[in-house]
Structure 1
């Protein structure tokens, strides 16, 4: 695996180094010792799999608040998504900055998302599937979110939005006095 820092502090784009032959390919996508080299020491306690049917759909921007803030790692295994993270960490040098990258079954990339970040994605194709690894259990009382179209973030989504959940439509907009999580 190759870990490439993104412009947002402590987050990484991860490229696999597959072994390939006439049968297909094989790649490691987690190794405790390699992840320790980027400072990851927490246990993955929950893994989720999502399927999104329609191109243009946005899921997000989701996060959990203290004491349930979580590290996430996401990988697209079918289709293609534009994956976005936003740094919400109080006092961070990249506070309220966002980063977006294409994750796809074809490019086999993963995104490592530190605690204190919001996460979301937009499907660039129909029938996208993502795998998520989490260091905290889903805790409904700790879940929170931001509007995908918040003017303070000004995220440049690549496609018109075709579908958004009622929950994601209700996420609040940030205000100028937001100090972080």
Structure 2
């Protein structure tokens, strides 16, 4: 389907909802349109940490409506890192994996933290308090297994983006234990604002 057709159709639905006093539908379609626009963006594949967080908050808002606000996502980012360039669309797949594959009964907490580490690396962690996984499953995912499953697809996409943009300078780690949750951590070199990052 042509993305322009989809975008224009959503805009029509949005304004019809507004004209008929359906504010909840209007706001939902408005957020969905922003998520779609960001995810299908034809601009640079390099964005700022701030851009990624704004897009992630829109995604969370949509999912909270879908799941009737039964889960909580906290985002803790060092404000000094807001303009740091990173590849587009790396946060949402990790949060989505925690939501769909980590949480028990679609409830629980997901914590996103973004910090500077050692003055040279950006450390992004997404942790949940859900069902966790075995060491064998962690190793399978890190080695590229599980492509046919949702978790494997999202994680492999993020790994590919890190490899494309940083080569061997990026690292992805999984720390998990059955019934004790999962934490996925990305470590990448910090590029200064306006610095070079392969696009």
Alignment TM class, shorter chain as reference: under 0.3
TM-score in terms of structure 1 length: 0.28
Q: Which has the larger radius of gyration?
A: 2
